[in-house]
């Protein structure tokens, strides 16, 4: 029997935060797709990062509304939150981005090579060969975003779980950059953290035969140069003055009460996504 549609946003959030809708579950965060009874929310996800000894059920019970998260960076698809519970900013709604994380891609390929002596080495080699074969350097865009974010005092987390390969396999983007707090600007600025994250994702990671290590290095050397080329291009583009971040004006967008019908949530999310210049997934 198909569940009846939720009559309020509070009911919808409760129906969403179930095992059947769970997409990501690790020691840092849980991410849920919205319940099947709300297909109009297919472009968004519920993100929960509960502090210790905190109950989502209790947070939903005491919350009264979802409010816009500010500041909202415009023109960058970084998986930032759009709305948060008024009493629990660790419960947010984020835009859905299509594709597969590099971490999941690696796991999928490792299954393909499970019969070999080093499944993850072979998986990383195939990933690198694919990315090397692309006409455009896939790292330029995400390092450009990292440069602008970090130079403007923001943390970035470009580890394998947060770098997304597009469904067509041609571009990379980042997801789940959820920290809205501005940090103290770094001085002197360096892009080393993001640059190193992208190279260490593909480190060989285990001891293997000399023959396989040589094959791996034959692919890894030009692959690392591809990342370095993107890094140099971005550094040269901005020099000492990177393009400033643009922020979406959302002060006129009101929060939405949890007792409101779900279509009010859809309207507010679409307004925020439009202000931020976020293209919706198909």
Encode pLDDT of 161-204 as tens digits.
Answer: 888 899 999 999 888 765 544 333 443 445 555 677 788 888 88
Asked whether residue 3 is assigned to any structural domain, the reply reads no
- Same structural domain for residues 36 and 70? yes
Asked whether residue 64 is assigned to any structural domain, the reply reads yes
Instruction: Note the pLDDT of residue 90.
Output: 85
Question: In angstroms, rounded to a whole number, what is the distance separating the alpha carbons of residues 156 and 88?
Answer: 22
- Same structural domain for residues 140 and 46? no
Query: With contact defined as beta carbons under 8 Å apart, do 215 and 125 qualify?
Result: yes
Token code pair at residue 87: 């009493």
Q: Indicate whether 267 pLDDT > 60.
A: yes
- Same structural domain for residues 127 and 207? yes
Instruction: Note the pLDDT of residue 184.
Output: 38
Q: Indicate whether 14 pLDDT > 80.
A: yes
Instruction: Note the pLDDT of residue 237.
Output: 82
115 Cβ contact partners less than 8 Å away, ≥ 6 residues apart:
none
8-state DSSP, 18 = S
Q: In the predicted model, what is the mean pLDDT of residues 134-146?
A: 89
- Same structural domain for residues 123 and 16? no
- Same structural domain for residues 228 and 117? yes
Instruction: Note the pLDDT of residue 108.
Output: 95
Q: Indicate whether 40 pLDDT > 70.
A: yes
Instruction: Note the pLDDT of residue 185.
Output: 40
Region of residue 161 (left: phi > 0; alpha: psi -120 to 50; beta: else): alpha
Count other Cβ atoms within 10 Å, centred on residue 259.
13
Domain that holds residue 124: 100-238
Q: In the predicted model, what is the mean pLDDT of residues 149-164?
A: 78
- Same structural domain for residues 194 and 254? no
- Same structural domain for residues 39 and 165? no
- Same structural domain for residues 79 and 181? no
123: enclosing H helix or E strand: helix 119-132
Q: Of 19-28, 38-47, 95-104, 209-218, which gets the smallest average pLDDT?
A: 19-28
Furthest C-alpha separation in the chain: 63
Q: Indicate whether 205 pLDDT > 60.
A: yes
- Same structural domain for residues 129 and 252? no
- Same structural domain for residues 121 and 179? yes
Asked whether residue 2 is assigned to any structural domain, the reply reads no
pLDDT in tens, 109-139: 999 999 999 999 999 999 999 999 999 999 9
Instruction: Note the pLDDT of residue 282.
Output: 46
Count: domains in the chain:
2
């Amino acid at each position: 029997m198909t569940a009846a549609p939720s009559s309020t946003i509070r009911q919808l959030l409760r129906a969403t935060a179930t095992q059947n809708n769970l997409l990501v579950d690790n020691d840092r965060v849980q991410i849920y797709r919205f319940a099947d009874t709300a297909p109009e929310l297919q472009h968004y996800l519920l993100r929960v990062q509960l502090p210790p000894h905190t109950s989502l059920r209790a947070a939903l019970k005491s919350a009264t509304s979802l409010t816009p998260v500010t500041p909202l960076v415009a023109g960058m698809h970084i998986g930032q939150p759009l709305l948060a519970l008024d009493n629990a900013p660790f419960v947010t709604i984020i835009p859905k981005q299509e594709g597969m994380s590099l971490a999941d891609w690696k796991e999928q390929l490792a299954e393909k090579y499970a019969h070999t002596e080093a499944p993850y080495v072979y998986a990383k080699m195939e990933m690198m060969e694919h990315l090397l074969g692309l006409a455009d350097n896939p790292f330029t865009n995400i390092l450009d975003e990292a440069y602008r974010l970090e130079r403007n005092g923001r943390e970035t987390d470009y580890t394998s779980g947060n770098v997304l390969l597009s469904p067509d396999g041609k571009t990379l983007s980042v997801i789940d950059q959820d920290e809205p707090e501005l940090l103290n600007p770094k001085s002197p600025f360096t892009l080393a953290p993001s640059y190193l994250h992208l190279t260490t994702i593909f480190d060989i990671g285990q001891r293997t035969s000399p023959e396989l290590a040589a094959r791996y290095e034959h692919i890894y050397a030009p692959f690392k140069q591809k990342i370095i080329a993107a890094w140099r291009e971005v550094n040269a583009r901005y020099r000492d003055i990177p393009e400033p971040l643009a922020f979406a004006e959302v002060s006129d967008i009101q929060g939405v009460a949890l007792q409101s019908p779900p279509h009010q949530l859809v309207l507010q999310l679409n307004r925020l996504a439009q202000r931020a210049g976020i293209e919706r997934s198909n």
